[in-house]
Amino acid sequence: MKRLELAIESIILASRWLLVVFYIGLGLALAVYALSFGKKLYEFITTVFLLGDTDTILKMLGLIDAALVASLVVMVIISGYENFVSRFDAQDSDGGVHWLGTIDVGSLKVKVASTIVAISSIHLLQVFLNSSSYSTDQLMWLTIIHLAFVVSALMLAYIDRLMGLSKGKKDEE
């Protein structure tokens, strides 16, 4: 019976390597998104002198938004791999990233939620700068949705902090 249990545990532990397919897929999606960013940047550069102030700001906010989304994808790839699959061998001394291994699942959730709030904020700012294209109801709902993201991020941060405090108390005991 113990042999069967060990075999099942080995299969379960080995299944974490299936996540690599997702992380590689996210990396490929990021490469495609980089091409999309390049196109947006090219269009911005070629039309910058024809745009008014508001349109220039809107285009720049779109580029910032894309950078935040790309950063979010990288954060999920690196910390997901580090937390669920395997530790990276290269650290600071070999030119690695100094924060590898410092983002746990709770911190990742908070960082993801914070990034989503930032992306939502940028989108909402774009909407407000172009508010004449939206109805009052649309503006209200977009604001409510953004506030839902903000409250969710705050709750995740609060829960993560509580978990950290309770972990600290257990370590003291």
What is the residue-wise DSSP string for 84-143? HT---S--GGGT--TTTT---HHHHHHHHHHHHHHHHHHHHHHHHHTGGGS-HHHHHHHH
Instruction: In whole angstroms, give the CA distance from residue 169 to residue 173.
Output: 7
**Is the pTM value of this prediction over 0.75?**
no
Instruction: In whole angstroms, give the CA distance from residue 101 to residue 89.
Output: 11
Low-confidence ranges of the chain (pLDDT < 70): 90-104, 165-173
Tell me what pLDDT residue 129 has. 87
Tell me what pLDDT residue 103 has. 67
Tell me what pLDDT residue 97 has. 63
How is residue 140 written in tokens? 């209200």
The total number of residues written for the chain in this structure: 173
Tell me what pLDDT residue 41 has. 96
